[in-house]
Structure 1
Amino acid sequence: MTKQSKALYFIPYSIWLVLFVIAPLLLIFYQSFFSIDGQFTIENYKTYFESSTYLTMTLNSVWYAFLITVLTLLISYPTAYLLNKTKHKQLWLLLIILPTWINLLLKAYAFIGIFSANGSVNDFLAFIGIGRQQILFTDVSFLLVATYIEIPFMILPIFNALEELNPSYISASRDLGANNVETFRRVIFPLTLSGVKSGVQAVFIPSLSLFMLTRLIGGNRVITLGTAIEQHFLVTQDWGMGSTIGVVLIVAMLLIMLATGEKRKKGENHK
């Protein structure tokens, strides 16, 4: 393939990148310097960093994103590990990924029916004698639904990392006298850490800006930056403040990507 043909293939990608990634980011950054009256100002950033309300929302966003990521990882790693050992692993992986093809709003409304006062979960609790409980519009229901939705995005990179793991490393570990726990701790997990980092990025970053689930499942009990952005753009019409929060959120996402990204070793040869 010649350099000219390579450049030709690169043109559509460049156009897409400029129109749908770079331009929206620049517009958000530009809009963040305007007040609700359309006046150029830096008061939006001053308000954000001096307001205990916005800082609390930031901490809530990070905390809930952290909890969702931890719960997702605790479920996904053993699942991916066992999945890698099964006979028809590609089929099982496809079944795990299938729910991601369903619209998020449809899944949210399905869980509203499941967790509602007359839903199937409360029907089961009443049947076994515990009685109906308030499940919907709680932190627990929000975390459960968010974890369920994010699980496939954590399983996939971990599964790929496990599949690429050379079995000879595990055999060598066993030959050297390591038991299953030591083999996992010293060989399997460190060599699949890249998959874990990719999964953390795929889960933590979107979880920072959740707003639909906080409203439908959490009943606005869970207030995050995503909720604040929605309110500023759709309710108060303060696009400047909404853009300011969006800029802060983008910076936080970039920091997470840098923290969980692969670090190249010094002296590494580049092809």
Structure 2
Amino acid sequence: MSEKKHLFFALPYYLWLALFVIAPLVLIFYQSFLNLHGQFTVQNYLAFAQSSVYLKMTFNSVWYAFLITGLTLIIAYPVAYIIAQFKSRDFWLALVILPTWINLLLKTYAFIGILGEKGSINTFLRFIGLGSHQLLFTDASFILVAAYIELPFMILPIYNAIVAIKPSLINASLDLGASRFQTFRRVIWPLTKNGVAAGIQAVFIPSLSLFMITRLIGGNRVITLGTAIEEHFLTTQNWGMGSTIGVVLVVAMLIVMLLTDDSKKGGRAK
């Protein structure tokens, strides 16, 4: 009877998984083998592998995702560690989560206002006599905005890993003569690697397929696989090629998940 109840309550989850995860993936995979005339072909994959343009887009996607993930990790770890030390940690954590409640498009347009020629940064630069500068439509602005948007998703798993550490382990390390740095390297860092891995997955994987931010902030300078998919589905109507690039992105995301999967190893102090 308990197994039947378990199956009954799990049924909505399985239906959701089948309709909104498995079915779209199957459709994309099937569509990737069709040409513009709906005929079965492997030409889409051959064209992708033989095209220097697509290979450059793939490199750009991975490189930008790497930079965005690296920047967010550098900022997120100390922020998460500091928040974990506060008594009012819930308040500060709420401030981290709050930006995620704002629509992504609104945040992007806010940065257009900040970084634009007549934005607040250029206004300040003109005020101090440095003149206006082209801040929008640059690689730096794209990475900055993307890192800001993805930052909460790096902070949260690292914060959860830090607060899960028993204070007695840290105190024991210090009492045994270890320095603060040695305690971090041999106790805190190994015990938070799972959180770091989860944060890398949460940031790197979405960063591979960014397209709206690349258009609005990066302009035509930033071309990734996400923008290529948008172009094929909405402009050229070449759904087969767009689906092929989508399959490549899915495979890349699976590789990232496998490389960052630390669940079997488990974090432990060394």
Equivalent residue number for residue 38 of structure 1: 38
Q: Distance in 2 between matches of 1:265 and 1:249?
A: 26
Q: Distance in 2 between matches of 1:156 and 1:264?
A: 21
Q: After TM superposition, give the deviation of residue 224 of structure 1 in Å.
A: 0.4
2:53 matches 1:53: yes
Q: After TM superposition, give the deviation of residue 192 of structure 1 in Å.
A: 0.3
Q: Determine if contact 2:194/2:263 at 8 Å carries over to the other structure.
A: no
Equivalent residue number for residue 222 of structure 2: 222
**So what's the TM-score if we normalise by structure 1?**
0.96
Equivalent residue number for residue 133 of structure 2: 133
Q: Determine if contact 2:138/2:219 at 8 Å carries over to the other structure.
A: yes
Equivalent residue number for residue 177 of structure 2: 177
Amino acid at match of 2:13: Y
Equivalent residue number for residue 148 of structure 1: 148
Q: After TM superposition, give the deviation of residue 186 of structure 1 in Å.
A: 1.1
Secondary structure in structure 2 of the residue aligned to 1:18? helix
Secondary structure in structure 1 of the residue aligned to 2:220? coil
Q: Distance in 2 between matches of 1:163 and 1:112?
A: 36
Percent identical residues: 66
Q: Distance in 1 between matches of 2:74 and 2:21?
A: 32
Equivalent residue number for residue 248 of structure 1: 248
Q: Distance in 2 between matches of 1:253 and 1:222?
A: 20
Equivalent residue number for residue 157 of structure 2: 157
Taking a change above 3 Å as real, the CA distance of residues 263 and 97 of structure 1, as seen in their structure-2 partners, is: closer
Secondary structure in structure 1 of the residue aligned to 2:37? coil
Amino acid at match of 2:190: P
Amino acid at match of 2:145: V
2:167 matches 1:167: yes
Equivalent residue number for residue 187 of structure 2: 187
Contiguous gaps of at least 5 residues in structure 1: 267-271
Amino acid at match of 1:195: G
Q: Distance in 1 between matches of 2:121 and 2:69?
A: 24
Secondary structure in structure 2 of the residue aligned to 1:144? helix
Q: Distance in 2 between matches of 1:41 and 1:149?
A: 39
Q: Distance in 2 between matches of 1:183 and 1:169?
A: 9
2:78 matches 1:78: yes
Q: After TM superposition, give the deviation of residue 220 of structure 1 in Å.
A: 2.1
Equivalent residue number for residue 114 of structure 1: 114
Contiguous gaps of at least 5 residues in structure 2: none
**So what's the TM-score if we normalise by structure 2?**
0.97
Amino acid at match of 1:122: N
